[in-house]
Amino acid sequence: MQVRKMPTHITQIEDTEHQRTVLRVEGEMMLDDALLLERIASDIQTDLDTYVTIDLSDLDLLDSESAAVLRRLDSRLGFRIEGIETFLQKAVSAAEKRAGG
C-alpha cells in the first residue's frame, strides 16, 4: 500500500457582513499544517484587528497532534472553530463505507 499525503489548502475569506476573516481549511491537516494555521490566524488577528474563524468543513483528515493545536486555538486563544460536525460526519461515513456497511 502506498500512502500519499494530500496537501492542505488554507483560503482566506473576508466576511464583511459579519466583520470577520474566515480561514477555510481543505485537505489533510498534520502538525506542521496546524502550526502554520495557528501562525496565520494569529498574524491576521493582530495585523487586521479582526475576529478569525477557522472553517474545517472541507477537511478530509486531522491527526491527533493537529487536534491539540486546534483545541488551543479555540480554548486559549479565542479563535472560533466551525465545520467540525461536517468533518466528523464525513469521517464516520468513510469508515462505514470501508467496513462495508
Task: Note the pLDDT tens digit of each residue in 1-54.
Answer: 555 556 899 999 999 999 999 999 999 999 999 999 999 999 999 998 889 999
Domain 9-99 of CATH type 3.40.50.300? no
| Residue 47 and residue 15 in contact, taking contact as beta carbons nearer than 8 Å | no
pLDDT at 90 over 90: no
Return the domain boundaries, the chain.
9-99
What pLDDT, on the 0 to 100 scale, is given for residue 12? 96
Q: Which amino acid is at 3?
A: V
Between 74 and 97, residue with greater pLDDT:
74
Contacts of residue 54, Cβ cutoff 8 Å, sequence gap at least 6: 22, 23, 25, 37, 41, 70, 73, 79, 80, 81, 82
What residues are paired with 28 via a beta bridge?
61
User: Hey, which residues does 42 pair with through a beta bridge?
Assistant: none
Query: Residue 9's beta-bridge partner residues?
Result: 26
User: What is the pLDDT, as a whole number, of residue 60?
Assistant: 87
Confidence of residue 92 (pLDDT cuts 50, 70, 90): low
Report pLDDT digits (tens) over 55-85: 999 998 888 899 999 999 998 888 999 998 8
Contacts of 6 (CB under 8 A, 6+ apart): 27, 28, 60, 61
**What is the pLDDT at residue 86?**
79
**Strand 80-82 to 51-62 pairing:** parallel
